[in-house]
Amino acid sequence: MNLELDEDQRDLIAVTTEVCSAVGAHFRSVSSGKDRDEVIRKINEGLKALAEVGILGIRHPEPHGSGLGPVEAVLVAKTCGAALIPMPLLLWADLVGPNVPGVLEGAVSITGSFERTRGYSFGGHTDVVVAVDDTGAAYAFESSAVAWNPIPQVDPATPRARLVGDIPSDSQAIASPDTVREWRGYAALIAAAHLVGVGGAAVATSTAYTRERHQFGVAIGSFQAIKHLLADAYTAVELAYSQLLIAALCRSEGNESGTDQTAAAGIVSARAAIAAAETAIQVHGGMGFTAEALPHLYYKRSLLLAAELQTVSVRPRELLHRSLAVHGPSPDTRPAS
């Protein structure tokens, strides 16, 4: 299995990086919004910038999207993750696609949740919301049509709330239970990609800081202890990235092991991202958890993404007795009792 990127994929990363660099700070300023209307305005402005280059609806065919595959989708998601672009706003736009007019153009913001009891990221702060009922089917309705109960959030740039009451009776049915199950698999892949992006950004930010920060007359990056911390974090993130690409390729090729490969990618990416963010905080010293520095944001985003991943992917122990061979199914390898 060839994990090398081609020229078009590298160009896609470059364009996405440029756009995300311009709007990343914009999304991080969401927490400073004074009211719901201002938050929605900030969100929609950022989404329109992403829609203009085809980042929204990356896998939907033209004219609605870019018509690309799972590999390109994870490359874009990884780049967005590195810039701390909120995953739910991108994921749910991609999932519902043209079923909700204006979403893929960035004119309508949308969020959703597979588990209503866990709450919604940006609940009450988007134009439209998607809810999954007890049968597993998905419905879309206007966010302003229901009441929301704010809940504590670990990430200040991602306000969360629970839906008060039931799904409105006049909601639009947009996905069957079978389709929602497919959505969960895709969501797990995208969450893993965002985690790899966050982890990579944490390592890159830390590496740059260790070159600039001096102690005892030398850059702190020259200290062996710092080198080992960053080397461990870098290695873990790169291994997670490789597993992510394997999972994306399996899904692209219709490989039977795609589900298990995606689950494995989620496990290693969550661990790598959280560890890289913790390393970033440690390397930055007292600056690591200040509002002016990025490390604490990487840590909070990685915790949030890891929690989101748990709702759409299998648990680590469920993979314990499965083979993760790329070719062929993943049989249960537990010894006979």
> pLDDT by residue for the chain (337 residues), tens digit each?
788 999 999 999 999 999 999 888 888 777 655 577 777 888 888 899 999 888 888 999 888 788 899 999 999 999 999 999 999 999 999 999 999 999 999 999 999 999 988 899 999 999 999 999 999 999 999 999 999 999 988 888 899 999 999 999 999 999 999 999 999 999 999 999 999 999 999 999 999 999 999 999 999 999 999 999 999 999 999 999 999 999 999 999 988 888 899 999 999 999 999 999 999 999 999 888 788 889 999 999 999 999 988 877 666 666 766 666 665 555 555 555 4
Query: In this predicted structure, what is the pLDDT of residue 157?
Result: 86
CATH code of the domain occupying 7-175:
1.10.540
Q: Where in the chain is the domain with CATH 1.20.140.10?
A: 177-325
Helix (H), strand (E), coil (C) string for the chain: CCCCCCHHHHHHHHHHHHHHHHHHHHHHHHHHCCCHHHHHHHHHHHHHHHHCCCCCCCCCCCCCCCCCCHHHHHHHHHHHHHCCCCHHHHHHHHHHHHHCCCCCCCCCCEEEECCHHHCEECCCCCCEEEEECCCCCEEEEEHHHCEEEEECCCCCCCCEEEEECCCCCCCEEEECHHHHHHHHHHHHHHHHHHHHHHHHHHHHHHHHHHHHCEECCEEHHHCHHHHHHHHHHHHHHHHHHHHHHHHHHHHHHCCCCHHHHHHHHHHHHHHHHHHHHHHHHHHHHHHCCCCCCCHHHHHHHHHHHHHHHHCCCCCHHHHCCECCCCCCCCCECCCCC
The CATH architecture to which 177-325 belongs is Up-down Bundle (1.20)
Q: Where in the chain is the domain with CATH 1.10.540?
A: 7-175
Q: What is the pLDDT of residues 213-272, one digit of tens each?
A: 999 999 999 999 999 999 999 999 999 999 999 999 999 998 888 889 999 999 999 999
